[in-house]
């Protein structure tokens, strides 16, 4: 069973590698104002029954990476209670990139679903 | 534009990392007899308009990796014309793993599509 569990974890990790950036950019593209990490995490949680798909702690490195490559920008603002918060918004590069990512996502999704739903063959 | 092109390539690569193994396992799960690399590549090509999604050369390392982790097994057989061919088939571990991968794929797909199709928010 160990090799199966390993293979399952590896797949989840690889799939998340691509999709987490897509989801974050997608959320921030639709945001009407800059959002901070916890807000984004709550919004994603509300859209999925499986809390393991994108754990809150996993969002932060992806947000930083998206900012480092110029797809997001951020500003730190003081909060009424607690420590200051970093608010993220999508950049123009981010929007252009997202449009391409969505195309790639849709093509990949169609291929995967076609293969998984296809009949038997040889 | 360079940062956008880089970000697009990186996304494609990461998304393929997870989905290529899923597609290969899915194809071999439905195969009625063992298949060799070129056969698998042709079958995948027939299901997608975008030839870039999974280039033929990219399949071989994934097939080898799936075999190394016990999800596939293979046998080399002589071919009538040309060099011998390596035929792959799915193992019992491979079938169990595929069932889990499909669950993960479906949950991820639903989350991504929910986020991309959702309305604006703050």
Report which of residues A84 and A1 the model is more confident about.
A84
pLDDT of residue A19: 94
- CA B106, distance to chain mean position in Å, is 15
A8 contacts B115? CB cut-off 8 A: no
Give mean pLDDT, residues B84-97. Answer: 97
Condensed to tens digits (0 to 9), the pLDDT of residues A32-45 reads 999 999 999 999 98
Percent of chain B, pLDDT > 70? 93
Report which of residues B72 and B45 the model is more confident about.
B72
Chain B residues in contact with A110 by the CB 8 A cut-off are 48
Q: Do residues A42 and A49 touch, judged by C-beta distance below 8 A?
A: no
Query: What confidence category does residue B120 fall into, taking pLDDT thresholds of 50, 70 and 90?
Result: confident
A111 contacts B48? CB cut-off 8 A: yes
Q: Give the range with max mean pLDDT: A38-42, A76-80, B24-28.
A: B24-28
HSE toward the beta carbon, residue B57, CA cutoff 13 A: 1
Chain A residues in contact with B14 by the CB 8 A cut-off are 14, 17-18, 21
Percent of chain A, pLDDT > 70? 93
| Listed range (A29-38, A65-74, A113-122) with the worst mean pLDDT | A113-122
Chain A residues in contact with B69 by the CB 8 A cut-off are 3, 6-7
Report which of residues A18 and A93 the model is more confident about.
A93
CA distance B60 to chain A (A): 18
pLDDT of residue B114: 93
B6 contacts A111? CB cut-off 8 A: no
**CA B73 – CA A19 distance, rounded (Å):** 30
pLDDT of residue A51: 57
pLDDT of residue B122: 67
Indicate which of A11, A27, A106 best probes the interface with B, i.e. most B CBs within 10 Å of its own CB.
Answer: A11
**CA A73 – CA A50 distance, rounded (Å):** 29
A22 contacts B118? CB cut-off 8 A: no
pTM of the model: 0.91
Chain A residues in contact with B18 by the CB 8 A cut-off are 11, 14-18
pLDDT at B51 over 60: no
Indicate which of B43, B115, B119 best probes the interface with A, i.e. most A CBs within 10 Å of its own CB.
Answer: B115
Residue of A nearest to B66 (CA): A7
SS3 for A15-79 is HHHHHHHHHHHHHHHHECCCEEHHHHHHHHHCCCCCCCCCCHHHHHHHHHHHHHCCCEEEEEECC
Task: Give the number of other Cβ atoms within 10 Å of residue A50's Cβ.
Answer: 14
**CA B93 – CA B98 distance, rounded (Å):** 8
Condensed to tens digits (0 to 9), the pLDDT of residues B34-43 reads 999 999 999 9
pLDDT of residue A1: 65
Domains and CATH numbers, chain A: 2-117 (1.10.10.10)
Query: What confidence category does residue A53 fall into, taking pLDDT thresholds of 50, 70 and 90?
Result: low
**CA B85 – CA B79 distance, rounded (Å):** 6
């Amino acid at each position: 069973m160990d090799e199966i569990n390993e293979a399952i974890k590896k797949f989840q990790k690889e799939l998340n590698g691509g999709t987490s950036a897509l989801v974050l950019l997608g959320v921030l593209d639709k945001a009407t104002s800059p959002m901070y990490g916890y807000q984004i995490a709550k919004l994603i949680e509300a859209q999925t029954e499986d809390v393991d798909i994108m754990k809150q702690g996993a969002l932060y490195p992806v947000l930083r990476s998206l900012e480092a490559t110029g797809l997001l920008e951020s500003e730190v603002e003081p909060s009424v209670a607690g420590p200051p918060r970093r608010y993220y918004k999508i950049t123009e590069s981010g929007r252009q990139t997202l449009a391409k990512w969505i195309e790639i996502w849709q093509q990949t999704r169609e291929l995967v679903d076609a293969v998984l739903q296809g009949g038997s063959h040889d």
